[in-house]
Amino acid sequence: MNHLLQEEEQPRGAKIRGRHPVDQLEAANRFIAATAHEMMHDNRLWDLRKKRDAQMHAIPEWEELRQLASDIKSHTLDHLADYLEEFEHNAKKNGIHVHWAKDAQESNQIIGDILKAHQAKSLIKSKSMLGEECGLRPYLQKEGIAVVETDLGERIQQLDDEDPSHVVVPAVHKTRTDVSKVFVKTLNAQPGNNDVHYLAEWQRETTRPYILSADAGMTGGNFLVAETGAVVVCTNEGNADLSANTPSLHIVTVGIEKIIPKMEHLAVFIRLLSRSALGSPITQYTSYFRGPRRGGEMHVVLVDNGRSTRLGKPNFKPGLKCIRCGACMNTCPVFRRSGGLSYGSVYAGPIGLILSPGYDPHKYRNLPFASTLNGSCANVCPVKINLHEQILAWRGELAKQGELSLSKKVIMKALGKLYANPKAYRQAIQMGDKILQYLPHFVVYNRLNAWGRQRDLPEAPKKTFHSWYKKHYMNGKGDEA
Amino acid sequence: MSSREEILNRIRQHQTNISTSLPKVPNFFDKSVDIIDAFKKSLLIMGGTLLLVGDADPLQALKEKIKNANVICSMVPEIKGNRELNEQNLPKELDDIDYAIVRASFGVAETGSICLTEKNLMINTLGYLPQHLIVLLDPAKIVYNLHDAYAQPEWYSVNYASLHSGPSATADIEGVLIRGAQGVRSLSVLLIS
Amino acid sequence: MEVGLFIPCYMDAMEPEVGISTLKLLERFNVKVVYPFDQTCCGQPMTNTGCEKEASATEALFVKNFAKFDYIVMPSGSCTNQVRHNMNAIEQTDEVTHVRTHSYDLVEFLHDILKVEAFPWANFPHKVAIHYNCNALRGLRHASMSERREAFFSKPKNLLEKIKGIEFVELQRPDECCGFGGTFSVFEEGVSAKMGRDKVLDQRNSGAEFVISADSSCLMHQKGCAQRMGIPLRYAHIAQVLNGDIR
Ligand code: SF4
């Protein structure tokens, strides 16, 4: 298997055709067909889930912490404007420049303008999902600014010209051979050397010169603390602290929902974040930026991009509590078998199913259906987001907006009619040997026989329960159908 | 209307303000735990190294570690290095340092973390650009958990501080754990007042 | 006590013997069981596809059929979950509330309401892996969930333990979804089948001879996968085992 793993071609993500609905299933099927990749991916993420469970069992107050985290976030969202103003006030007092961006475009422009004002031509960057959401890197590159990702996984994906497939482990879908191929092509690494230590070391060596020479550095932010006006960044590689502290200009881009009221609340989230994400007690670095360093300048760009609108949708507002730990992806049985790139969206997995249609209901209309509604995601979520309920709510919302696929619409309409009419229903069943065409309706009621492709069909029994009951309990009477 | 006002207005329109008082966070302190012991265990879990305090010379293990190093930058009076830093140094000039030796503000038993502030580091990149980091930590300054850690006064006075929990690390390729990613390759802690 | 028996639509047609076991089992405990003839479906396929409007007439019919009973019992955790937690397409009258709050899955009914202590007629000398339907597990709380920090409990296991000869084996991923997911099984066929195959492999590797569940729908899917893979695992609904029909 290991041999196969290293031979197999890397499956690529969903085919994106403008705003055309992303076909997640098509990409998932290709991922599953790459059996070795799929198995590695599934096992690795399941391993993260198991490590997370072990951390949970080591903390007696685990469920209490989750409830606190959820309550703190709910409270904060209910007073979001006040806390943002408090943050701004304190950050400015400490010498941080605070900017407000209502959407992706404005955020990109603000950042571009700051860089231009400093004549910055090169930027080192640590991982930021918001940056991905806004399409920041392509924007800056068009503006003539060289951007280098400094997180290993993110760097691999940048060099391979592929989006991150997971919010915490961006290259989790790649094997060491896949990475080696990318590094040979782009970083002049030794061909055929797929030793992981070598590859990581090679990335360190080739990135260091960029870190030392960059004109500006950029990080995301995991938390904003209103009380102190500080930004908190959680990373493992040390790259965020290097990006922030080496050049004299540090820009932070962060979503407005990342705010928490006080330092005492930070403890709750830090205790949960890395335990949920990677099953480690804490990230290697949990860094706190309360003002510019000596001789430096610090900017924070507060980005809305749909968040304040989501706040007004009671069903979907809880999605704003997300701390981007990725635990819901690790536990999601569909995500583990589909790969994050199959979703064709910045946010994949359960959190992606509920965030993406908020950005574009047409393009992402298939995503809420890439779930069995099993609910494991909501159970691992450290801020107790009701993920599976929101996934279901999105299906309803999409149906209302006329965004169901034709086959779903037709089948559900027919079923709804049939199930509401006992006579017609019994007649349909009593069509003897044709039973499989109708029952269970939702299973075989489609021309492709999707059930039977990889599964045996159940043998149809001679009699329904209904007719058995009639014969044995009612002397053959009961209904007239 | 500025974007700032537009965003805040829209939030005020949408936020409900109904629920919730701000929850009080308990400390969850477990008195049965031996703090120093717990710190040592956590440090090892996070990939850090514990330097033993020598009997004759408490710094023996530390000196042993750096004896073959080329460039040593010490920010602690107990050890003399061969690279002096002053506030005018550029952050990137710290790239050739092999060993940096600093004193931490406090430690956290729950996670084996040590807190380094801009005061401990003088130049913030001292915590990241050197190949290795050695940290002196007063055992009396180890707090039990992260709740205690975030109740420390440092957070209200410094512009920069970071909890370091072991050395830099990555598992981004096939989940293989590598200690020594972009930051320091090793982190050693000596518990000494 | 008068109990209305709901037999899920797929069970009526595909697994009538599970319905028969359920009925006979309930009657052993002197429960008066009535099977309303006009029943069809609980509305789940439409609700889970987001088609509330299309579900409303089916839900109304369900309520009409069952409002008069003290309890509504069904051998399906997932239909019970639908009725109890998701029957929102119709106006929430007192009748509807009664139906929603008095609907029980067979396991719950035996365990929590009848508090059954013994199944002396049953005998099951086999190695068994329990399969938890996700709605039964996380919606109805049939058992403790691996994602939560909570003490272990399992209502199906508590019941099965009372049967002579039974032996339990554990899965590597005890409560991972099997990929059935209702309409998911056909709309997302590729992923569904892959999840099913992985589940079957876990079951086989556990050394189980039988997989027992409170939901036939998951079993139908798993059985279909196992047969296609040529793996000779056997699948049984908990009612069939508790009633001594499969031994
Ligand atoms: S939804 Fe919850 S589990 Fe998923 S990434 Fe966000 S915080 Fe983590």
Instruction: Let me know whether C57 and C160 are in one domain.
Output: no
DSSP B70: S
pLDDT value of position A449: 66
Q: Over range A31-36, report the average pLDDT.
A: 97
B25, B124, B165 member nearest A267 (Cβ)? B25
A73 domain residue, yes or no: yes
Full-model pTM = 0.95
- Among A166, A268, A383, the mutation site with the greatest number of ligand 1 atoms within 8 A of its Cβ is A383
Residue C109 sits in the same domain as residue C168: no
How far does residue A269's CA lie from ligand 1's centre (Å)?
Answer: 12
Q: Is residue C26 part of a domain?
A: yes
Of C58, C90, C113, the one marking the end of a domain is C113
Tell me the mean pLDDT in the region C109-113: 98
Q: Does A359 touch chain C (CB under 8 A)?
A: no
A417 and A301 together in one domain: no
Asked if C204 and C146 sit in the same domain, the reply is yes
pLDDT of A206 reads 97
Q: Do residues C225 and C172 both lie within one domain?
A: yes
pLDDT reading at A437 higher than 70: no
- Give the per-residue pLDDT at A431: 62
Domain boundary among the residues C62, C81, C113 is at C113
Q: Is residue A417 part of a domain?
A: yes
Residue C196: closest CA among A451, A35, A445: A451
Query: Where do the structural domains in chain B lie, given as residue ranges?
Result: 24-191
* Residue A439: per-residue pLDDT: 44
Q: Is the predicted pLDDT of residue A447 greater than 70, yes or no?
A: no
pLDDT at position A425: 85
Asked if C16 lies within 8 A of A461 by C-beta distance, the reply is yes
Q: What would the pLDDT profile of C8-44 be if each residue is shown by its tens digit?
A: 988 988 899 999 999 999 999 999 999 999 999 999 9
**Residue C174 maps to a domain:** yes
Q: pLDDT of A342-352, one tens digit each?
A: 999 999 999 99
Residue A92 has pLDDT above 70, yes or no: yes
Cα–Cα distances in angstroms (integers) from residue A373 to residues A105, A341, A348, C138, C139, in the given order: 34, 20, 15, 10, 10
The span from the CA of B188 to the CA of B179, in Å, is: 13
Question: Residues A137-184: pLDDT tens digits?
Answer: 999 999 999 999 999 999 999 999 999 999 999 999 999 999 999 999
Looking at CATH, the fold of the domain delimited by B24-191 is given as Rossmann fold (3.40.50)
Instruction: Report d(CA A96, CA A291) in Å as an integer.
Output: 6
SS3 string, chain A, reads CHHHHHHCCCCCCCCCCCCCCCCHHHHHHHHHHCHHHHHHHHHHHHHHHHHHHHHHHHCCCHHHHHHHHHHHHHHHHHCHHHHHHHHHHHHHHCCCEEEEECCHHHHHHHHHHHHHHCCCCEEEECCCHHHHHHCHHHHHHHCCCEEEECCHHHHHHHHCCCCCCCCCCCCCCCCHHHHHHHHHHHHCCCCCCCCHHHHHHHHHHHHHHHHHHCCEEEECCCEEECCCCEEEEEECCCHHHHHHHCCCEEEEEEEHHHEECCHHHHHHHHHHHHHHHCCCCCCCEEEEECCCCCCCEEEEEEECCCHHHHCCCCCCHHHHHCCCCCHHHHHCHHHHHHCHHHHCCCCCHHHHHHHHHHHCCCCCCCHHHCCCCCCHHHHHCCCCCCHHHHHHHHHHHHHHCCCCCHHHHHHHHHHHHHHCCHHHHHHHHCCHHHHHHHCCHHHHCCCCCCCCCCCCCCCCCCCCHHHHHHHHHCCCCCCCC
A39 inside 8 A of chain B by CB: no
A425 versus A188: the higher-pLDDT residue is A188
- Whether residue A33 lies inside any domain: the answer is no
Q: Quick check: A476 pLDDT over 90?
A: no
pLDDT (mean) for A371-376: 97
CATH code of A294's domain? 3.40.50.10420
Query: What is the domain range of residue A206?
Result: 51-308
Domain boundary among the residues A267, A293, A308 is at: A308
Closest CA in chain A for residue C144:
A379
Whether C104 and C144 share a structural domain: no
Residues C200-207 have a mean pLDDT of 98
The residue to which tokens 């691999």 are assigned:
A156
pLDDT digits (tens, 9 = 90+) for A281-333: 999 999 999 999 999 999 999 999 999 999 999 999 999 999 999 999 999 99
What ipTM describes this predicted complex?
0.97
Same domain, C87 and C146: no
State the residue range of the domain holding C46. Answer: 2-113
Q: Given the CA of residue A319, which atom of ligand 1 is nearest to it? A: 1
Instruction: Give the number of other Cβ atoms within 10 Å of residue C24's Cβ.
Output: 14
Q: Kindly state whether residues C102 and C151 are assigned to the same domain.
A: no
Chains B and C are in contact, defined as 3 or more C-beta pairs closer than 8 angstroms: no
CATH code, C181: 3.40.50
Determine which of A83, A111, A257, A282 to mutate to test the interface with B (most B C-beta atoms within 10 Å).
A282
Q: Which of A412, A454, A468 sits opposite C49 (nearest CB)?
A: A412
Q: Which of A268, A385, A389 to mutate to test the pocket of ligand 1 (most atoms within 8 A of CB)?
A: A385
The pLDDT > 70 percentage for chain C reads 100
CB B103 within 8 A of CB B121: no
Q: Is the peptide bond before B26 cis (omega within 30 degrees of 0)?
A: no
Return the sign of the alpha-carbon dihedral for residues A87, A89, A95, A99.
positive
Average pLDDT over chain A reads: 93
The pLDDT value recorded for residue A441 is 47
pLDDT at residue A93 is higher than 90: yes
Count CA atoms within 13 Å of residue A181 on its CB side. Answer: 10
Residue A67 covered by a domain? yes
Rounded CA gap, B10 and A201, in Å? Answer: 47
Which of A32, A39, A334, A372 is most worth mutating to test chain C (most C CB atoms within 10 A of its CB)? A372
Residues facing A285 on adjacent strands: A235, B164
Q: How confident is the model at residue A442 (pLDDT cuts 50, 70, 90)?
A: very low
Q: Which of C113, C139, C169 is the last residue of a domain?
A: C113
- Per-state percent for chain B, helix, strand, coil, to nearest 5: 30, 20, 50
* Whether residue A217 is found in the same domain as residue A96: yes
**Within 6 Å (CB) of ligand 1, which residues are found?**
A 322-328, 351, 380-383, 385, 387
Please list every residue in chain A whose beta carbon sits closer than 8 Å to the beta carbon of residue C191: 25, 28-29, 32, 334, 337-338, 370
Mean pLDDT, residues C147-171: 97
Considering the domain architecture, whether residues C109 and C131 belong to the same structural domain is answered as no
How many separate domains does chain C show? 2
| Per-residue pLDDT at C205 exceeds 70 | yes
Residue A262, in any domain of the structure: yes
Going residue by residue through chain B, which has 193 residues, state the pLDDT in tens, using 9 for 90 and above. 899 999 999 999 998 766 678 899 999 988 889 999 999 999 999 999 999 999 999 999 999 999 999 999 999 999 999 999 999 999 999 999 999 999 999 999 999 999 999 999 999 999 999 999 999 999 999 999 999 999 999 999 999 999 999 999 999 999 999 999 999 999 999 999 9
